[in-house]
């Protein structure tokens, strides 16, 4: 089984967290829930620190501060109307995985949030990876109905992994 997620770890603390395994599990569960064959796609993941993600956040969103997770879809699959389902990505040609996009996740912010929320780091990171993967697939939470759809999917996907509702 080929890796769905190609991971680059810039911050060694992610090695101890098992980021590669968490990402593979979270992203495979996300694609499976949407009826997509995980082996037909590829995601790039950067495990970094707050300083690095702050630079990325400034460069791409104009917000020069750390955040927990960022994502850059390879194609715009966004739903046309609030609450509509996004388009589905086409799989790659036979034997080639289609790129879904890139995700970056910051260790310090994730660790702080997990502690503040009384969650294990693994559970919190898994949720953020599902969240980031859904962004790559065109889901968003800016409009109210879109947010409800995205959060509902997150809860469903996390439940398949035995994790509690992060919004409950």
Non-local CB neighbours of 156 within 8 Å, separated by 6+ positions: 33
* 3-class DSSP assignment, residue 45: strand
Return the sign of the alpha-carbon dihedral for residues 115, 118, 123, 125.
negative
- Residue list for the binding site: 131, 135, 141
CB burial of 59-84 (b: ≥16 within 10 Å; e: otherwise) equals eeeeeeebbbbbbebbeebbbeeeee
- Residue list for the binding site for Zn(2+): 131, 135, 141
């Amino acid at each position: 089984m080929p890796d769905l997620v190609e991971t680059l770890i810039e911050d060694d603390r992610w090695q101890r967290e098992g980021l590669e395994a968490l990402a593979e599990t979270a992203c495979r569960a996300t694609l499976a829930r949407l009826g997509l064959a995980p082996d037909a796609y590829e995601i790039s993941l950067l495990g970094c620190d707050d300083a690095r993600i702050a630079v990325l956040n400034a460069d791409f969103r104009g917000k020069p501060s750390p955040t927990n997770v960022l994502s850059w879809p390879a194609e715009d699959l966004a739903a046309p109307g609030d609450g509509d389902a996004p388009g589905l990505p086409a799989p790659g040609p036979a034997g080639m995985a289609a790129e879904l996009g890139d995700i970056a996740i910051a260790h310090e912010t994730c660790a702080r949030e997990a502690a503040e929320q009384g969650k294990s780091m693994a559970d919190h990171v898994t949720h953020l990876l599902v969240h980031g993967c859904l962004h790559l697939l065109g889901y968003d939470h800016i409009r109210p109905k879109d947010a409800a759809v995205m959060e509902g999917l997150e809860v469903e996907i996390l439940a398949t992994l035995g994790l509690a509702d992060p919004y409950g």
